[in-house]
Chains A and B, each alone.
Chain A
Amino acid sequence: MSVEFRLVQWNTHKKVYDLAVTALVLVSIGSIVGVGLAAFPPPGEVSPPILLMRALGATAVIMLHVILAIGPLARLTTLAAPLLYNRRHLGVAFFLIALLHALVATGFYGGFGHGVWLVNVVTGGYRTGGEVPFELLGFLALLIFFAMAATSHDFWLSFLGPRVWKWLHMLVYAGYALVVGHVMLGAAAERATPVWPALLGVGITGLTTLHLAAGLRSLREHQAAEGESNWADAGEAASIPDDRARIVRLPSGDSVAVFRQGDRLTAMSNVCAHQGGPIGEGKIVDGCATCPWHGYQYRPEDGCSPPPYTEKLPTYSVRVRGSRVEISTTPNELGTPSAAGILDGDDHGE
Chain B
Amino acid sequence: MANDHDDFYVGYLPTPSAHRRFSKVALVAVLLCAGIAGAGIAWLMDDPGRGVWATETSELTGTLRLSPVAFLQTAAGPVLLVEPGKFGARDLEPIGDGSPVTVRGTTLERDGHRMIELTSGDDAVTRVGTAPTSITETEAARRVVIEGEIIDTKCYLGAMKPGEGRTHAACARLCIRGGIPAGVVGTADGRQIWAIIDPGEDGVISETMLNAVGKPVHIEGELTSRAGLAILRDARLHAGD
Q: Which residues of B contact A193 (CB under 8 A)?
A: 44, 46
Min distance, Cβ A294 to any Cβ of chain B, angstroms: 6
Minimum Cβ distance to chain B for residue A206 (Å) = 10
User: Nearest CB to that of B86 among chain A residues?
Assistant: A113
Assess whether B30 is in contact with A24, with CB atoms less than 8 Å apart.
yes
Q: Are A35 and B42 in contact (CB under 8 A)?
A: yes
| Secondary structure class of chain A's binding surface, majority of residues | helix
A268 within 8 A of B: no
Please determine whether A47 and B161 come into contact, CB atoms closer than 8 angstroms.
yes
- Cβ–Cβ contact A82 & B161, under 8 A: no
Are A196 and B170 in contact, with the CB atoms below 8 A?
no
Q: Do residues B52 and A43 form an inter-chain contact, with CB atoms below 8 A?
A: yes
| Cβ-based interface call for A125 (8 A) | yes
Please report which residues of chain A, range 5-47, place their CB below 8 angstroms from some CB of chain B when the two chains form the complex. Answer: 11, 13, 20, 23-24, 27-36, 39-40, 43-47
Interface residues of B in 162-191 (CB under 8 A from A): 162, 165-175, 177-178
Instruction: Decide yes or no whether A54 CB sits under 8 A from chain B.
Output: yes
> In the complex, A50→B168 CA distance in Å?
10
Residues on B with C-beta less than 8 A from A196 are 41
Q: A58-B38, A295-B12 are in contact. Are A283 and B31 (CB under 8 A)?
A: no
Q: Chain B's nearest CB lies how many Å from the CB of A245?
A: 12
Q: What are the residues of chain B within 8 A of A11 when measuring CB–CB?
A: 11-12
Q: How far is the CA of A242 from the CA of B171 in the complex (A)?
A: 64
Query: In the complex the two chains form, what is the Cα distance from A199 to B39 in whole Å?
Result: 12
User: B19 in the interface, Cβ–Cβ < 8 Å?
Assistant: yes
CA distance A237 to B52 in the complex (A): 77
Minimum distance in angstroms from B6 CB to a CB of chain A: 10
Asked whether B173 lies within 8 Å of A126 as measured between CB atoms, the reply is: yes
Using an 8 Å CB-CB cutoff, how does the interface string of B35-59 with A read, 1 for contact, 0 for none?
A: 1111111111111111110000000
Contact B86 A44 (CB under 8 A): no
A115 at the A/B interface (Cβ < 8 Å)? yes
B211 at the interface (CB under 8 A from A): yes
Q: Which residues of A contact B211 (CB under 8 A)?
A: 127-130
- Answer yes or no: A220 CB below 8 A from chain B CBs: no
Interfacial residues of chain A within 173-212, with CB under 8 A of chain B in the complex = 185-187, 189-193, 195-196, 199
Contacts A44-B161, A193-B44 supplied; 15 other A-B pairs, CB < 8 Å: A24-B30, A28-B38, A31-B36, A35-B39, A43-B50, A45-B48, A46-B162, A59-B38, A79-B18, A86-B11, A109-B167, A125-B170, A129-B211, A294-B11, A295-B11
Show 29 A/B contacts (Cβ-Cβ < 8 Å), sorted by A: A13-B12, A27-B31, A27-B35, A28-B34, A31-B39, A35-B42, A36-B45, A43-B51, A54-B41, A59-B38, A62-B34, A80-B22, A82-B19, A86-B11, A113-B175, A114-B177, A124-B169, A127-B169, A127-B170, A128-B211, A134-B166, A186-B166, A199-B37, A199-B40, A199-B41, A243-B4, A290-B8, A290-B10, A294-B11
Closest 3 CB pairs of A and B: A113-B86, A125-B170, A31-B38
Residues of A participating in the B interface, judged by any CB pair closer than 8 Å? 1, 11, 13, 20, 23-24, 27-36, 39-40, 43-47, 50, 54-55, 58-59, 62, 66, 77-83, 85-86, 108-110, 112-115, 120-121, 124-130, 133-135, 185-187, 189-193, 195-196, 199, 243, 282-286, 290, 292, 294-295
